[in-house]
């Protein structure tokens, strides 16, 4: 968790536990393969793309070789993420050529933030791509696929159709997405906010996701009830700046995230846990902090990116908060919920970062104490103000600073996990483990836990004694409630 990925990212990951899944509908005769890069919002979007395409007869496959349609749902946060997409498109080209030589076809689509940022450049670099669709337009996939299919049947059809849809539609895409109808994982994502108005100088999100948009509270509550009815026990509310959410309330007026959390806790029976990510320090208001103290379903874990401990660098980043203001927010959170655990993002080697600036970042990490965190070397993104700033920090210096930050964060994470050993904590089991009789779940502080137990406990929140820790997970023993439970656990093990 200390590398260059954000919390629970699915970068370079084929369809998995949180991705779209196969459905049993016999009418689904075509195969869809979605490969998801980047953040939790992309994971959510991949699942919704599968929902959009199910009425067209598409079911999900884990293999591109079997697919009639391959979608690469892309991330543009770092340069390497974009280049991985082009490498994957290069690997897919022979498969598409072979399919066409055999008289068939393989539709290739690039979705997500690379699609939005680079548009026609994707088609120029990979002319065998059929569809390029931005994150605000994927509800238009049925129409885009129909156009691509017609183009394939037309005279002079080439290797790819090169249809580009990267506009920002006037209508919110959420109004056109189908309702979930299939079984859900125990822990699911629910997008409530999208886009960003902050314009941090290093970030492409305002350009790829657009202006901030908040879904109405009624729509969110309706979707949450549906997800829980279909098997979810934990919901993570998603947004590029999720705590900037201000949606229309059911009776009029605007709600903040704290009020929405209370409405979910009170109005969605069966919802055991609520989380939200990713937050911005400027949007941590009193109502949301109070919800951490007063709503049992709201988990005591918060991802709150700070990026730097230097006020000078924070100003250059256009973060519009200081290190002292971040400290004050942390103090208020811990006063409200003493057991809250914190995660954050750090960028080292931002243009102009001095040794003193970097030392101030290390100081902030030491005085805050993080349960986990994510650290990055600054990577220039074309079109962002920071990419033109001077002086750019030498690569070797960036690498040394990243190593120092990661070492400190790793030691803090290790200490946090060690403190859990010997404690009994509630664990929500999400799925079977790799080995027979093993279950995998998470503590309230987002720590992954492995324990022996019967699969019927998946979806249950069970008391677990933590007996050991590993770099990125904990080992636990289920605390049995009665003799029958003990026999069942023993048989499963």
C-alpha gyration radius of the chain: 23
DSSP letters spanning 158-174: -S---EEE----SS-GG
CA distance 220 to 236: 12
The backbone region for 114, taken as left when phi is positive above 0, alpha when psi lies in -120 to 50, beta otherwise, is alpha
The helix (run of H) or strand (run of E) holding residue 296 is: none
Residue 37's nearest CA partner among 69, 92, 78 is 78
Position 26 pLDDT exceeds 50: no
Q: Is the dihedral of CA 79, 198, 350, 367 positive or negative?
A: negative
Quick: pLDDT tens for 159-201.
Answer: 667 999 988 765 677 777 777 767 689 999 999 999 999 999 9
Whether the predicted pLDDT of 119 surpasses 80: yes
Could you tell me whether strands 461-470 and 424-432 are parallel, antiparallel, or unpaired per DSSP bridges? antiparallel
**What 3-state class would DSSP assign to 365?**
helix
87 C-beta neighbours (distance < 10 Å), count? 10
Higher pLDDT, 4 or 118: 118
Query: Could you confirm whether domain 421-492 is CATH 2.40.50.140?
Result: yes
Whether cis (ω within 30° of 0) applies to the bond prior to 281 is no
Euclidean distance between the first and final Cα of the chain, in Å?
A: 29
Q: Which residues of 92-102 are buried (b: 16+ CB within 10 A; e: fewer)?
A: bbebbeebbee
Q: Are 425 and 463 in contact (CB under 8 A)?
A: yes
Instruction: Outline where DSSP puts E strands in 171-241.
Output: 187-191, 193-194, 213-214, 234-238
pLDDT attached to residue 19: 39
What span, in angstroms and rounded, lies between the C-alpha atoms of 261 and 271?
Answer: 11
3-state secondary structure of 438: strand
Q: What share of the chain in percent tops pLDDT 90?
A: 69
Global confidence as pTM: 0.83
pLDDT, position 159: 61
Neighbours of 54 (CB within 10 A): 20
The class that CATH gives domain 13-165 is alpha beta
| CA 272 to chain CA mean position, Å | 20
CB 44 within 8 A of CB 232: no
CB 345 within 8 A of CB 39: no
Q: Is the pLDDT of residue 325 over 80?
A: yes
Q: What is the DSSP letter of 320?
A: -
- pLDDT beyond 50 at 16: no
Q: What is the pLDDT of residue 154?
A: 56
What span, in angstroms and rounded, lies between the C-alpha atoms of 31 and 37?
20
Short-list 146, 180, 144, CA closest to 164: 144
- Segment 420-479, tens digit of pLDDT: 999 999 999 999 999 899 999 999 999 999 999 999 999 999 999 999 998 889 999 999
Confidence of residue 13 (pLDDT cuts 50, 70, 90): very low
How far is CA 446 from its chain centroid?
A: 14
Higher pLDDT, 48 or 351: 351
173-412 classified as CATH 3.80.30.20: yes
- Collapsing DSSP to helix, strand or coil, 50 comes out as helix
Element (H, E) at 157: none
Domain ranges of the chain: 13-165, 173-412, 421-492
Q: Are 318 and 200 contacting, i.e. CB atoms less than 8 angstroms apart?
A: yes
* E strand intervals along 184-338: 187-191, 193-194, 213-214, 234-238, 246-248, 254-256, 273-277, 301-303
Q: Which of 373, 393, 455 is nearest to 7 (CA)?
A: 373
Any idea what the Cα angle at residue 29 is, between residues 24 and 33, rounded to 5°?
85
Q: Does residue 405 have a pLDDT over 90?
A: yes
Half-sphere exposure at residue 20, Cβ-oriented, CA atoms within 13 angstroms: 29
Residue 103 — pLDDT band, cuts 50, 70, 90? confident
Instruction: Quote the pLDDT of residue 22.
Output: 40
Q: Mean pLDDT, to the nearest integer, of 312-326?
A: 98
Q: For the chain, give the mean pLDDT.
A: 88
Residue 3 has pLDDT above 50, yes or no: no
């Amino acid at each position: 968790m200390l590398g260059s990925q954000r919390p629970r990212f699915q970068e370079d990951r084929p369809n998995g536990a949180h991705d779209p899944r196969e459905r049993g509908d016999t009418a689904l005769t075509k195969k869809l393969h979605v490969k998801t890069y980047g953040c939790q919002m992309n994971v959510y979007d991949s699942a919704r793309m599968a929902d959009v395409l199910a009425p067209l007869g598409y079911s999900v496959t884990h293999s591109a070789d079997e697919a009639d349609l391959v979608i690469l749902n892309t991330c543009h946060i770092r340069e390497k993420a974009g280049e991985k997409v082009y490498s994957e498109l290069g690997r897919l080209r022979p498969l598409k050529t072979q399919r066409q030589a055999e008289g068939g076809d393989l539709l290739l689509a690039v979705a997500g933030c690379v699609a939005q940022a680079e548009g026609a450049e994707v088609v120029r670099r990979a002319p065998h791509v059929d569809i390029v669709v931005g994150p605000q337009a994927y509800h238009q996939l049925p129409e885009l696929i129909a156009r691509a299919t017609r183009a394939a049947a037309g005279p002079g059809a080439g290797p790819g159709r090169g249809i580009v849809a990267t506009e920002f539609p006037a209508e919110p895409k959420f109004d056109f997405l189908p309702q979930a109808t299939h079984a859900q994982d125990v822990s699911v994502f629910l997008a409530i906010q999208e886009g960003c108005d902050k314009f941090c100088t290093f970030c492409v999100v305002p350009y790829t996701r657009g202006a901030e948009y908040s879904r109405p509270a009624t729509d969110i509550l309706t979707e949450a009830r549906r997800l829980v009815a279909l098997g979810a026990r934990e919901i993570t509310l998603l947004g590029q700046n999720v705590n900037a959410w201000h949606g229309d309330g059911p009776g009029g007026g605007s709600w903040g995230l704290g009020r929405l959390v209370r409405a979910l806790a009170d109005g969605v029976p069966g919802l055991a846990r609520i989380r939200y990510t990713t937050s911005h320090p400027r949007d941590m208001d009193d109502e949301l902090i109070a919800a951490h103290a007063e709503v049992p379903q709201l988990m005591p874990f918060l991802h709150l990116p700070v990026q730097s401990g230097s006020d000078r660098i924070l100003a250059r980043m256009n973060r519009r908060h200081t290190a002292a203001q971040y400290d004050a927010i942390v103090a208020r959170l811990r006063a409200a919920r003493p057991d809250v655990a914190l995660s954050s993002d750090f960028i080292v080697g931002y243009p102009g970062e001095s040794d003193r600036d970097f030392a101030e970042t290390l100081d902030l990490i030491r005085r805050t104490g993080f349960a986990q965190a994510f650290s990055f070397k600054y990577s220039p993104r074309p079109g962002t103000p920071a990419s033109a700033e001077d002086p750019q920090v030498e690569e070797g210096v960036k690498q040394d600073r990243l190593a120092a930050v990661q070492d400190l964060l790793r030691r803090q994470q290790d200490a946090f996990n060690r403190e859990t050993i010997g404690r009994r904590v509630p664990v929500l089991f999400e799925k079977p483990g790799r080995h027979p009789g093993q279950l995998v779940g998470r503590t309230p502080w987002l720590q992954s836990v492995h324990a022996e137990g019967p699969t019927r406990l998946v979806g249950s929140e069970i008391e677990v004694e933590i007996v050991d820790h590993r770099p990125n997970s904990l080992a636990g023993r289920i605390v049995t409630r009665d003799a029958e439970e003990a026999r069942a656990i023993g048989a499963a093990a």
